Amino acid sequence: MKWDTLENEPCPVARGLSVLGDRWTMMVVRDCFLGIRRFDQMQQRLGITRHVLADRLRKLETAGVLRRDPYQDRPVRYEYRLTEQGKALYPILVTLIDWAEENVPPKTVTAMTILSQETGRPIDPILVDSNTGNPITHRNVTVRKTG
């Protein structure tokens, strides 16, 4: 199956990857959560070509993850802000950070630590079922194919 046709797949993993499935896209989303909103700032932080960054921003805007808001008239320049759909990616980003810290440890000091605003201490994220409060793991959940 071709990469650009994944958004039409019945599998939710394939559809999600059609939006987020390359290395630069989640880095752009990460920077948006860190308050980086302008093209030049993103390009400088990421060390990515203008063409690739423009493509990822366009893709995220088309998917409804980001919106462009003008901040300058002459010439017109935009900042990129997370939509509600984009903000809903935060648990995925936190889970990815936690997974990488556990399974792909840094060779030196880690670049980021997620802290509780309430306690100031590092968090230990878990995925739970909102109906039961039980942690969700590969051992206690079954995926059933529908349709």
What's the CA angle centered on 28, arms 27 and 31, to 5 degrees? 85
Query: What CA–CA distance (Å, rounded) separates 30 from 92?
Result: 10
Name, in order, each residue with C-beta under 8 angstroms of 60's C-beta and a sequence gap of 6 or more.
19, 25, 28, 29, 66, 80, 86
Q: HSE, CB side, 13 Å, CA atoms: give it for residue 3.
A: 5
Query: What CA–CA distance (Å, rounded) separates 127 from 134?
Result: 8
pTM, rounded to two decimals: 0.85
pLDDT tens, position by position, 33-59: 999 999 999 999 999 999 999 999 999
Residue 135: its pLDDT value, please?
A: 93
Residue 2: its pLDDT value, please?
A: 54
What's the CA angle centered on 129, arms 127 and 135, to 5 degrees? 50
pLDDT above 70 covers a percentage of the chain that reads: 97
What domains are there in the chain, each with its CATH number? 3-83 (1.10.10.10)
Q: What is the mean pLDDT of residues 108-113?
A: 85
